[in-house]
Amino acid sequence: MTIDIRPIEPEDIPAIVALAKTTWLDAYAGIISSGQIDYMLAQRYARAGLETDIENPGKWLHQAFIDGMLAGFAACEICKGEFKLDKLYIHPAMQRKGAGAALVDHATALARGQGYPGMILAVNKNNARAIRAYMKYGFRVRDKVVTGIGGGFVMDDYIMEKPV
């Protein structure tokens, strides 16, 4: 099995939008409402927004392929002076094959190369599978935050961090 990591290019975006939708519906059913899933997909994973993100020199969007098939993607950005893993989504059929770990390794190298001492992320407090994965990647819980995101919705998250 070969895992390749490549930057997301404009022509990749429709496949990334579809993968995000499938993965969100699988991961967040039972954690947040279907209304909140739809709201957040529209807010963060619409084609136009991702096109803007990949043009932004302060954001890094990468995709992982397992044996040539798209498996998932990650996005990183600088947030209040810290290097943040902002998105990490692996298609349900491709999970637990190491693509998440490979994308985190790639993000770690990016953060280190830019001189950041660590990497942070936010994860829903009830997303036990992802929290288990992040612990395995070396993240630890640093904080808890509840953030309003509009539409009457909140994100109820742990902030996790790891040295890079």
Report the interface residues with ligand COA, using CB under 6 A.
23, 27, 72, 88-90, 95-101, 123, 127, 129-130, 132-133, 136
* Of 1 and 55, CB closest to ligand COA: 1
* Of 10 and 145, CB closest to ligand COA: 145
Single-letter residue type at 144 = K
Is 23:92 a contact under the CB 8 Å cutoff? yes
77, 108, 120, 82 alpha-carbon torsion, rounded to 10°: -50
Q: How far is the CB of 2 from ligand COA (least distance, A)?
A: 14
* Of 10 and 132, CB closest to ligand COA: 132
Q: How far is the CB of 125 from ligand COA (least distance, A)?
A: 11
Q: How far apart are CA 93 and CA 75, in angstroms?
A: 20
Q: How far is the CB of 35 from ligand COA (least distance, A)?
A: 19
* Of 10 and 96, CB closest to ligand COA: 96
> How many Å is the Cα radius of gyration of the chain?
15
Is 64:44 a contact under the CB 8 Å cutoff? no
Structure tokens at 28: 């967040």
Q: How far is the CB of 86 from ligand COA (least distance, A)?
A: 9
Is 76:107 a contact under the CB 8 Å cutoff? yes
